[in-house]
Amino acid sequence: MLNKVEIQSRLKFSLESTDGSESPTLAESDADGHEKPRVKYGELVILGYNGYLPQGDRGRRRSKFVLYKRNEPSGVKRSKHYIVQSPQTSKAILDANQHSISYTLSRNQAVIVEYKEDSETDMFQVGRSSESPIDFVVMDTLPGDKKDAKVMQSTISRFACRILVNRCEPTKARIYAAGFDSSRNIFLGEKATKWQDNVEIDGLTTNGVLIMHPKGQFCGGNAKCGLWRECSVGGDVFSLRESRSAQQKGQPIYDESNVLQDGTLIDLCGATLLWRSAEGLQHSPTKRDLEKLIDEINAGRPQCPVGLNTLVIPRKVNIGDQINQPYVYLNCGHVQGHHDWGQDKSTGARRCPMCLEVGPVVTLCMGLEPAFYVDIGPPTFAFNPCGHMATEKTVKYWANVDIPHGTNGFQAVCPFCATPLDGNSGYIKLIFQDNLD
Ligand SMILES: [Zn+2]
Ligand SMILES: [Zn+2]
């Protein structure tokens, strides 16, 4: 049986278009039949997608998930805990209506923490599983255009994390490692890292949930990349383990919290999510703003210095190669059309006819996911080597953010396609030959 909230959320998904355009909000009616807009808490956006999944957004599988206030509170909070001999047969585990977390200590001992309904919070769950408790289904993200991308072995947990938002204070959105399964249980096996401080038991998931709060305001472009931390099942914050799934937990970081702030990154080991608060999004461009900025560049009628044809920056992704498609020389930033001048057949590199610099050339395309922008302005820069255009502050911000890569490393990536950045800076200033008449 579906409850009212589930029916409404399914209805909402079915109404949402799949081309990445703005989602229409389904207004709810109050007792008098007046429609009131839904309260938006924020958005979770997967790094590496430019507005929608390549195969189209469908249901709970999409490039971003909007968190709206639920009609009825769906949060849970810790209540009592006790030790049992066999968790599989204990009442709390067998009761599919009872949220509980089972921490296995040994073959015949486990601590069960029961969770009770919390009328003050709403819960949202993220993971690879398509089971109904997962609100946002997230798959491993591969760099590049992803047309033929196939992930052989996923490292994302089926029930990766949960976010609890305070219904009265939506700026208090807290993240916790692990999510409840269809039986409303979380099992931490014998091998999982766990510990007991005073009375409360806590633990880490296999690959962990890492978070990075930017230092400073995400909007405005003056924030710096903060330190990556690990978040526990109970919501405490720790320094990173020696390696991603090491047995030993990191040091507790008491002066940092699991409260998401605008621009916080969440790494699920295989996909990285950006949290944008509703408040922060008000200072970000809309899709319409971005389209207008493209129109303004196109209105300057940028010209190819070789073919002398007018170049047109496409307003949509995946439109295919067009005759007016602009290309950028990654070593100098000159924007030109398609031509064969200066081509080195053996390396594929080209000599720029404007400045004679030799280097790679790529298609120029607009970064269309508004959530990744740190300010509103003309997209006069592009990421190197993928050619995604954005504002100067946006490319400079992302070029300085370390994203976990594999199980041990970090790298800066283009947020629109997840391609690791190249060159000294990771971006290039675009030089158009425009406004000639
Ligand atoms: Zn050049
Ligand atoms: Zn890119």
How many CB atoms are located within 10 Å of the residue 43 CB? 20
Domain of 85, in residue numbers: 40-283
**Cα dihedral: 315, 316, 319, 322 (round 10):** 10
Q: Which pair of tokens denotes residue 396?
A: 């400079």
- In the reported structure, the alpha carbon of residue 365 is separated from the centroid of ligand 1 by a whole-number distance in angstroms of 18
Neighbours of ion ligand 2 (CB under 5 A): 383, 386, 388, 414, 416-417
pTM given for the model = 0.90
Compute the distance between CA of residue 12 and CA of residue 23 in angstroms, rounded to an integer: 9
Asked which of 283, 315, 348 is the last residue of a domain, the reply is 283
Give the type of residue at 140.
D
Q: Which ligand is nearest to the CA of 429?
A: 1
Q: What Cα–Cα distance (Å) separates residue 201 from each residue in 98, 110, 163, 191? A: 19, 11, 19, 15
Q: What distances in angstroms separate CA 391 from CA 336, 373, 394, 400, 408, one per listed residue?
A: 20, 7, 5, 15, 30
Do 379 and 323 share a structural domain? yes
Task: With respect to residue 18, please indicate whether it lies within any of the assigned structural domains.
Answer: no
Ligand nearest to the CA of 329: 1
Nearest ligand to the CA atom of 418: 2
CA of 350 to the centre of ligand 1 (A): 10
DSSP annotation of 371 reads: G
User: Which residue among 249, 283, 317 closes a domain?
Assistant: 283
Query: Do 315 and 278 sit in the same domain of this protein?
Result: no
Q: Give, for all 437 residues of the chain, the pLDDT tens digit.
A: 444 444 444 444 433 334 444 443 444 445 555 567 889 999 999 999 998 888 888 889 999 999 999 999 999 999 999 999 988 788 888 888 999 999 999 988 999 999 999 999 999 999 999 999 999 999 988 888 766 666 678 899 999 999 999 999 999 999 999 999 999 999 999 999 999 887 789 999 999 999 999 999 999 989 999 999 999 999 999 999 999 999 999 999 999 999 999 999 999 999 999 999 999 999 999 999 999 999 999 999 999 988 899 999 987 765 566 778 999 999 999 999 988 888 877 877 899 999 999 999 999 999 999 999 999 999 999 999 999 999 999 999 999 999 998 777 899 999 999 999 999 999 999 999 987 76
Ligand in nearest proximity to the CA of 384: 2
- Is the separation of the CB atoms in 227 and 215 below 8 Å? no
Coil vs helix vs strand at 117: strand
Paired tokens of 13? 């998904």
Phi, psi of 398 (to 5 degrees): -65, -30
Instruction: Say how many Å lie between the CA of residue 130 and the centre of ligand 2.
Output: 28
CA 328–ligand 1 middle distance (angstroms): 9
Ligand nearest to the CA of 144: 2
Contacts of 263 (CB under 8 A, 6+ apart): 213, 214, 217, 218, 219, 223, 274, 275, 276, 280
233 and 306 in a common domain? no
**65: CA distance to ligand 2 center in Å?**
21
Last residue of a domain, which of 283, 312, 346? 283
How many structural domains comprise the chain?
2
CA of 326 to the centre of ligand 1 (A): 14
Q: Which ligand is nearest to the CA of 399?
A: 2
Is residue 16 in some structural domain?
no
